[in-house]
Structure 1
Amino acid sequence: MTDPFPVLDLRDAAGSKETRAQFLNRLRVAVHEVGFFQLVGHGVDDADDMLDLTRRFFALPETDRLALNILDSPLFRGYSELGREHTKGIPDQRLQLDIGPEQPARPPAPGDPAHQCLIGPNRWPGAMPELRPAVESWIARLTDLSHRLLRLLLESLDAPAGFLDDVVDPDPQIHLKLLHYPGPARTDEEAGNGQGTGIHNDLGLLTLLVQDGAGGLQVAVEDGRFVEVPVIPGAFVVNLGELLEVATRGYLRATKHRVIRPAPGVDRYSIPFFYNPRLDATMQPLPSPYVAASGGVVADADNPLFALYGDNVMKGLVRSFPEIVARHHPTLAASAGSKSA
């Protein structure tokens, strides 16, 4: 494996027949061998502006940020302090603002599925009115980019490009986070175990990440060896979720990754965007010769995937935000038992 994080230029997909074929082949190799790549030439040119907005949000007085406290949100939206979200039961050392699809509030009705609680409005800082239109524009453009990339990915597998259109249209379950990883104040025990975000796989379809120059994103390649993803200004780091791995019998890889907490006095900012099926959608195996010949994973006993995507989302939230579940969704907490950690 000579290049674990190849750089793909999306403009090549619109080039000559030969150039497009080369792009699709490189895309297929990247998502099969590692599950991560870097995307340039995508036409979204305001990543630096979005990172600057992220810095400005986390520079707001704590009272303004806590006015959006995620503990007050049954929709799992809003601001989280250090250690609020957990990965495999261990608190992540990052601050964050969680944002989902902007939709009207809908009171739950008897018989509604659990994932119905995720439908509703976001929480925006009154002290920073420019944040909402910027984030909503970013989400709209990344949704379009993700859908285009998903279709290209299917084409690279010799599957019908629109095979998953019905899974995501018309309301993909998108999720965006503004993240701030502050380095510890000193080099002693305050650094803890060095976990910014713990080792995990992403759940859904595609993740597009913008990271600043601090680095720290590490991916498990080959025999579990972690390698840091280089920072390329303006590039999206793209990786796949577990649903695509299972739908392709393991031919595509949902690779484990983590973020190492920055050194003392260093701050890291990033913006991950998660593109996922509709909450009420189910995945189907992809009709692809590569998938048919693959004998890889179709299930994970330690992390079972449900047919309905909304059930998978709720499983992840129960594990990641036990305090919110206990406060707003006690029935979920009780049914999850030890899995809520």
Structure 2
Amino acid sequence: MSDSFPGCVSSAAAALPVLDLRELEVPERRAAFLAELGHAAREIGFFYLIGHGVAAEKFVRIEEVSRRFFALPDEEKHAIGMANSPHFRGYTATGHELTRNRPDRREQIDIGVELPALELGPDAPVWKRLQGPNQWPAGLPELREVALDWSATLRQVAIRLLRAFAQALEQPADALDGLIDKTPAQLLKLIRYPGSSDPALRQGVGAHKDAGILTLLHQDHHGGLQVERPEGWIDVPPIEGAFVINIGEILELATNGYLRATMHRVVTPPEGVVRYSIGYFLSPSLEGSVPLLPLPEHLAKLALGPESDPKNPLFREIGPNAIKGRLRSHRDVAERHYPEQYAALDRLD
């Protein structure tokens, strides 16, 4: 795969499936919905979700508060810079998050579960430092209420989907609940992509797989998201009121590679255009490890094992997997708060 962002296959020629979550509750449509979900997850890894029940006014509120956040003066945003936080919470300026060791052209704020930092001794696992409070801008106090409400709402949608995934894999609905039944873990990203006409600045976000369980993405009316398919990179244009859903590497591990997390990226919008998006990432509780589902034989024989990148190996232990990804993406936080781990990062690249 080239890093030069070649031309894409038309989205009209390779559209993603559109699934309606309401069909899960309709007895005569339930089996068909689960079959469509299983096909979309295995063959593509991405789909649109409608019928999710998230009220239109919640979309309006999160969009409005996101734009107001990015319109704050730079000094107010930098006052809650992620480098202040050993928990990887807060604002990241354009070019300060890395994907595959290259800077992404976007600014964002990362918001997790609002929890106190743990009191840890010197021998505690380093990943336990991921739990902690968020940083909130003094000039926009309503961001906290709106962002936490959005996260709570989408968490319920994501859990419904996770249980549907289990059933699509011919497992009990609660087969994957062990991933989420301890201390909650999740991430909300409010993101702004500034436009550019410079070919060297086309990486809004570099090609990657998501590390968590499920991602629910809300896009504004500007495109930019692309998914890798055998025929090339395809556009994923926004559909009003729909989430773009993709599975993360945790489900790839849990199914021994029967499900595959899919490579995707975001291309910088053209000069004069600003793109906003809001990503919600359902993550596993940091404690414990990823289970291996006992898939029925006809599914298990299609599971080829999870893909492994020697420079970014997957761990079944959730905490070490989570801290690894954050350290690699946010070198400024690693250098300031994790000096021992920071010194070892170059050996992974």
2:265 corresponds to which of 258, 268, 293: 258
**Do structure 1's residue 168 and structure 2's residue 180 form an aligned pair?**
yes
**Do structure 1's residue 284 and structure 2's residue 322 form an aligned pair?**
no
1:49 corresponds to which of 61, 77, 81: 61
1:12-91 equivalence runs, <5 A: 12-16=23-27, 18-45=28-55, 46-91=58-103
Question: Does the Cα contact within 8 Å between 1:172 and 1:275 map onto a contact in 2?
Answer: no
The one-letter amino acid of 1:229's match is V
**Which secondary structure state, in structure 2, belongs to the residue aligned with residue 53 of structure 1?**
helix
Q: Post-superposition shift, 1:64?
A: 1.2
2:19 corresponds to which of 8, 32, 53: 8
Question: Does the Cα contact within 8 Å between 1:197 and 1:259 map onto a contact in 2?
Answer: yes
Specify the alignment match of 1:305 in structure 2: 314
Question: Does the Cα contact within 8 Å between 1:199 and 1:256 map onto a contact in 2?
Answer: yes
The one-letter amino acid of 2:34's match is L
- 2: CA distance, partners of 1:274 / 1:301: 22
- 2: CA distance, partners of 1:121 / 1:140: 16
- 2: CA distance, partners of 1:4 / 1:287: 32
Q: Post-superposition shift, 1:3?
A: 5.5
Q: Which runs of 4+ in 1 moved over 3 A?
A: 1-4
1:239 corresponds to which of 231, 241, 246: 246
1:329 corresponds to which of 329, 338, 343: 338
Structure 2's unaligned 5+ residue stretches are 1-11
1:99-114 equivalence runs, <5 A: 99-114=111-126
Question: Does the Cα contact within 8 Å between 2:113 and 2:133 map onto a contact in 1?
Answer: yes
1:107-256 equivalence runs, <5 A: 107-184=119-196, 187=197, 189=198, 191-223=199-231, 225-256=232-263
- 2: CA distance, partners of 1:228 / 1:301: 25
**Which secondary structure state, in structure 2, belongs to the residue aligned with residue 239 of structure 1?**
strand
The one-letter amino acid of 2:134's match is N
Specify the alignment match of 1:98 in structure 2: 110
In angstroms, what is the RMSD of aligned CA positions?
Answer: 1.6
- 1: CA distance, partners of 2:60 / 2:347: 41
- 2: CA distance, partners of 1:299 / 1:261: 28
- 1: CA distance, partners of 2:22 / 2:327: 40
Question: Does the Cα contact within 8 Å between 2:222 and 2:237 map onto a contact in 1?
Answer: no
Question: Does the Cα contact within 8 Å between 2:255 and 2:303 map onto a contact in 1?
Answer: no
Report the TM-score when normalising by structure 1.
Answer: 0.94
User: Given the superposition, is the C-alpha separation of residues 21 and 305 from structure 1 closer, same or farther in structure 2, using an over 3 Å criterion?
Assistant: same
**Which secondary structure state, in structure 2, belongs to the residue aligned with residue 332 of structure 1?**
helix
- 1: CA distance, partners of 2:203 / 2:306: 29
Deviations 1:173-217 (A, max 9, x none): 101100000112xx3x4x524000000000121000000011100
Q: Post-superposition shift, 1:4?
A: 4.4
- 2: CA distance, partners of 1:319 / 1:245: 21
Specify the alignment match of 1:269 in structure 2: 276
Structure 1's unaligned 5+ residue stretches are none
Q: Post-superposition shift, 1:331?
A: 1.3
**Which secondary structure state, in structure 1, belongs to the residue aligned with residue 138 of structure 2?**
coil
- 1: CA distance, partners of 2:229 / 2:183: 33
